[in-house]
């Protein structure tokens, strides 16, 4: 049996040290202050207003989407996309992430000659190069996003690209993300795209009920069904939706800081909807959403959840390990990750043995 330290409360340091899986990270929302500052310094000509960034706790969901617009104006060429993708992978890796699924909306920009295909190539190229240059310390997949704020034509193009790259880069592109401003009300038009993704064997992570009163839309998307649910903040509002999700066992990607900062969840961590789902033993995966926009990191999110639920170290590590079952990758990747968790438990035992020996010596002296 594995021994874990008996202590009350999980530390941020412990959450940093354990291996982790990140499954819900929007590339442009994940840019750190350091990366944004670097880009702002380079593009003083744009005279960008950073007002939405400075609102802190007063921020609304609308302000978050204003921030994305600012970031998008800075990330305007394939060179910058390549560079920021590497920065983001580096930061997740430094935070103890061993497997990362990055999602991003392919975009074209006539001025810089960037089209969607070049966008895809830049992200895939950065992932390949980062892994190659850093001895495979982290595995990274890329889920092209479909933005519900854009047109159906745009969505179909992204699906086509996702399908094509899932064949030419099958080790990297394994599924799609469906996201965008949740206040748009005509999401039904994207049903054929989600059904199309399923038909061609792409996994799908779908933002569902991130804001109130989206139950009809949620019922419709659940009928596909998605492979993972993003946020699911208001799924419990309607009895039939709640029981159908419970029954389906579709994992929920939980992003506590994001929900609080965008005012869709009360500020008390214990009142976050994930506490209810975890209480039902429904599969939940702790994620960041937009670690830059919401000033967070995956270990901070584990710290929040572990303390809200009064988890022990052993339970926290088990929670991070449970995410492996829900990754959009094959069984070999799952086995590789499970081995990393197994090794980390051995390290834990060795550390305890070492500390125990030291205290024995101390007592003798
Ligand atoms: C819905 C979100 C989101 O694609 O340019 N995005 N969509 N809800 C959220 N919760 C706060 N956070 C981010 O990254 C930014 C894009 O991700 C989606 C939005 O479409 C945003 O424009 P990329 O890399």
Within-domain flag for 74:
yes
| Residue 265 in tokens | 């969840």
CB 301 within 8 A of CB 1: no
Expressed in angstroms and rounded, the spacing between residue 305 Cα and the centre of ligand 1 is: 23
Task: In whole angstroms, give the CA distance from residue 10 to residue 292.
Answer: 24
Give the residue ranges of the chain where pLDDT is below 70.
1-8, 52, 54-58, 348-365
Task: Write the residue with the smallest CA distance to atom 9 of ligand 1.
Answer: 180
Residue 339 in any domain: the answer is no
Using the atom order of ligand 1, give the atom closest to the CA of residue 69: 22
| Confidence (pLDDT) at 5 | 56
Asked, for residue 333, whether it belongs to a domain, the answer is no
**CATH code of the domain covering residue 57:** 3.20.20.140
Active-site choice (22, 101, 210, 321): 210
Which of 119, 155, 180, 231 for mutating ligand 1's site (highest number of atoms within 8 Å of CB)?
A: 180
**Ligand 1 touching residue 290 (CB < 6 A):** yes
* Domain-located, residue 155: yes
- Looking at the domain assignment, is residue 178 inside a domain? yes
| Residue 336 to residue 339: CA distance in whole angstroms | 5
337 occurs within a structural domain: no
Task: Give residue 183 CA to ligand 1 midpoint distance, Å.
Answer: 13
For this structure, is 210 an active site residue?
yes
Residue 164 lies in a domain: yes
Distance of CA 338 to CAs 19, 57, 365, Å? Answer: 10, 38, 41
pLDDT of residue 359: 59
The finding on whether 289 has its CB within 6 A of some atom of ligand 1 is: yes
Residue 177 Cα, ligand 1 centroid: separation in angstroms? 10
3-state secondary structure of 138: coil
Q: Locate the DSSP E strands across the chain.
A: 20-26, 97-104, 139-147, 175-179, 203-208, 228-231, 252-254, 284-286
Query: What's the per-residue H, E or C state across 211-254?
Result: CCCCHHHHHHHHCCCCCEEEECCCHHHCHHHHHHHHHHCCCEEE
Tell whether 76 is covered by a domain.
yes
- Please give the residue range of the domain that contains residue 115: 12-326+344-358
Q: Using one digit for the tens of pLDDT, what is the confidence trace for 219-268?
A: 999 999 999 999 999 999 999 999 999 999 999 999 999 999 999 999 99
CA of 288 to the centre of ligand 1 (A): 12
- Could you tell me if the CB of 207 is within 6 A of ligand 1? yes
Q: What pLDDT, on a 0 to 100 scale, did the predictor assign at position 321? A: 98
Query: Looking at ligand 1, which residue's alpha carbon is closest to its atom 6?
Result: 180
Residue 145 CB–ligand 1 contact under 6 Å: yes
Distance 275 CA to ligand 1 centre (A): 24
For helices 298-308 and 313-322, give the axis angle rounded to 10 degrees: 120
User: Using a 6 Å cutoff on CB, does residue 274 contact ligand 1?
Assistant: no
The dihedral through the CA atoms of 206, 208, 211, 213 has a sign that is positive
Q: Which atom of ligand 1 is nearest to the CA of 105?
A: 4
> How many distinct structural domains can be found in the chain?
1
Question: For position 109, what pLDDT does the model report?
Answer: 84
Q: Whose CA is nearest to atom 17 of ligand 1?
A: 26
Distance CA 226, CA 221 (A): 7
Rounded to whole angstroms, the Cα distance separating 213 from 58 reads 23
In terms of C-beta density within 10 A (0-12 exposed, 13-18 middle, 19 or more buried), how is residue 270 classed? exposed
């Amino acid at each position: 049996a594995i021994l874990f330290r008996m202590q009350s409360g999980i530390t941020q340091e412990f959450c940093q040290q354990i291996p982790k899986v990140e499954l819900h990270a929007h590339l442009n929302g994940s840019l750190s202050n350091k990366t944004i500052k670097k880009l702002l310094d380079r593009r003083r000509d744009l005279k960008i207003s950073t007002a939405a960034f400075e609102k802190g706790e007063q921020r609304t969901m609308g302000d978050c989407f204003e921030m994305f617009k600012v970031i998008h104006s800075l990330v305007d060429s394939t060179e910058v996309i390549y560079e920021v993708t590497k920065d983001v992978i580096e930061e997740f890796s430094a935070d103890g992430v061993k497997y990362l699924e990055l999602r991003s909306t392919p975009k074209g920009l006539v001025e810089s000659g960037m089209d969607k295909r070049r966008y895809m190539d830049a992200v895939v190229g950065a992932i390949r190069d980062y892994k190659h240059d850093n001895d495979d310390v982290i595995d990274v997949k890329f889920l092209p996003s479909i933005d519900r704020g854009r047109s159906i034509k745009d969505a179909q193009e992204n699906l086509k690209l996702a399908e094509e790259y899932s064949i030419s880069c099958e080790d990297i592109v394994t599924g799609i993300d469906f996201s965008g401003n949740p206040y748009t009300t005509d999401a039904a038009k994207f049903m054929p795209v989600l059904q199309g993704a399923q038909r061609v064997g792409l996994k799908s992570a779908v933002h569902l009920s991130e804001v109130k009163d989206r139950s009809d839309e949620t019922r419709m998307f659940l009928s596909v069904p998605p492979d993972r649910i993003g946020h699911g903040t208001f799924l419990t509002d309607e009895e039939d939706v709640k029981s159908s999700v419970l029954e389906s066992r579709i994992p929920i990607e939980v992003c506590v800081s994001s929900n609080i900062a965008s005012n869709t969840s009360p500020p008390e961590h214990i009142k976050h909807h994930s506490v209810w789902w975890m209480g039902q033993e429904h599969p939940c995966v702790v994620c960041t959403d937009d670690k830059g926009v919401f000033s967070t990191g995956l270990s901070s999110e584990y710290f929040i959840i572990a303390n809200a639920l009064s988890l022990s170290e052993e339970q926290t590590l088990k929670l991070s390990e449970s995410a492996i079952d829900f990754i959009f990758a094959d069984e070999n990747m799952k086995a590789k990750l499970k081995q990393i968790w197994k090794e980390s438990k051995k390290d834990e035992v060795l550390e305890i043995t070492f500390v125990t020996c030291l205290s024995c010596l101390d007592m003798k002296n």
